[in-house]
Structure 1
Amino acid sequence: MATAYFMQLLTQMSEARTDQEHMEIYMISKPSIPDRTNYILGKSVQSPLSEMIWTGKQLKQLGAGILAIPCITAHFFHDELQDEVGLPVMNAVEETAVCLWNRGIKHVGILATEGTIQSQIFQRVLEGYGISSEIPDKEMQQIITDMIYHDIKEGKTVDIERFGRVSAELNEKGAQVVILACTELSLIKKDFPIGTGYLDVMEVLAAKTVQKCGRLRAEYRKLITL
């Protein structure tokens, strides 16, 4: 569902008035790629990198000039993937940090998979921009993990009150903005009126991809509402 929503965002964010003005997009959906979080956490010896490299090279052969990955945990492999494929790979983590820095945000909360949290790919990049971060405690992280793997991925309804509890905990720790740092969590923002104070990494990735390849609609130039 996350990839389908990413494609939707690319279309609705594009300043295109005719079919011919839209970006040319090549997509490969490859669910056989091993789970990124399980590998990062040492629960699996199957690295997803080789399959990601193969997929990137297929897209390159089709004519792609840049790659975008609507999976944030997969950004753990960003640099190796970019080097092996030989194409620029959009960096959603870096672009999110830039977006926050441009708005003067100094303290954020991170909602993501355990793989993204434990690998600290967000924390390290944010720190480089002078932005401190908070993560959920063990109990709250389990709520987010269950939502990602057992609700959203399985097509079930999310308990929005539980989601709100986790966000509130991060706000209580001082987070000015809560980052939806997993593209499955982007679907919560799409389907529920969760309010202000969030930054959706999927929206950041889509907007920056459109800026690289086409023209971005004006209403998507500011993605944080406070």
Structure 2
Amino acid sequence: CNSLHVFIKEIRDAVDIPVLSIVEKTVKFLKKNNLNKVGIVSTSATIKNKLYENAFAKNKIGYETPDDFQQAKMGKFILNLVTGMQNNKDREELIQIINDFTKKNVDCVVLACTDLQLLIPQHPKLKIFDTMKILADATVEEILK
């Protein structure tokens, strides 16, 4: 869950094992791949807390987020996903939100909600990166060190 990372400091302080940050690992991935401007789709909590926006700004990565109307739709998509009620209309509307990012010259879109991969694993015009996969790959790298 990306939104949970608002508590990453508290989580790290509470345990004696390394805890990787999905936000930090996503930033590292984007920088490594020279992706300088990204579209972010996520929960409203992630947007409200500026989890990615703050990290991107600190690392000189440009970003775009859905407008307020689109973000309200995102909440509906995510609720439908977690309750097993997703449908093709949700997928089509998410594709339209991502299509709007193409007009804003983003290099890629970051799925900053672990449930969104179920709606749109790929897009014909933009690369889509799932933060959950980025974190999983980083976890494997960490284990193999």
Question: What is the TM-score of this pair, normalised by structure 2?
Answer: 0.90
1:186·1:201 contact (CA, 8 Å) conserved in 2? no
Match of 1:139 in 2: 69
The alignment of Structure 1 onto Structure 2 pairs a total of residues equal to: 142
Long gaps (5+) in structure 2: none
The alignment status of 1:75 with 2:75, answered yes or no, reads no
Long gaps (5+) in structure 1: 1-70, 216-226
Matched ranges for 1:148-167 at <5 A: 148-149=78-79, 151-158=80-87, 159=89, 160-167=91-98
2:113 alignment partner, one of 182, 191, 201 = 182
Task: Compute the displacement of 1:214 (Å).
Answer: 4.0
Deviations 1:141-188 (A, max 9, x none): 111110001x10011233321111111112212211111000011222
Q: Pick the structure with more strand per residue.
A: 2
SS in 2 for 1:199: strand
The alignment status of 1:93 with 2:23, answered yes or no, reads yes
1:200 alignment partner, one of 125, 130, 142 = 130
Deviations 1:71-112 (A, max 9, x none): 100000001110122221111111111111111111111100
Deviations 1:9-53 (A, max 9, x none): xxxxxxxxxxxxxxxxxxxxxxxxxxxxxxxxxxxxxxxxxxxxx
1:105·1:176 contact (CA, 8 Å) conserved in 2? yes
Structure of larger gyration radius = 1
Matched ranges for 1:111-126 at <5 A: 111-126=41-56
Match of 2:57 in 1: 127
Greater RCO, CA 8 A, separation 6+: 2
* CA distance in 1 between partners of 2:52 and 2:128 (Å): 15
Match of 1:107 in 2: 37
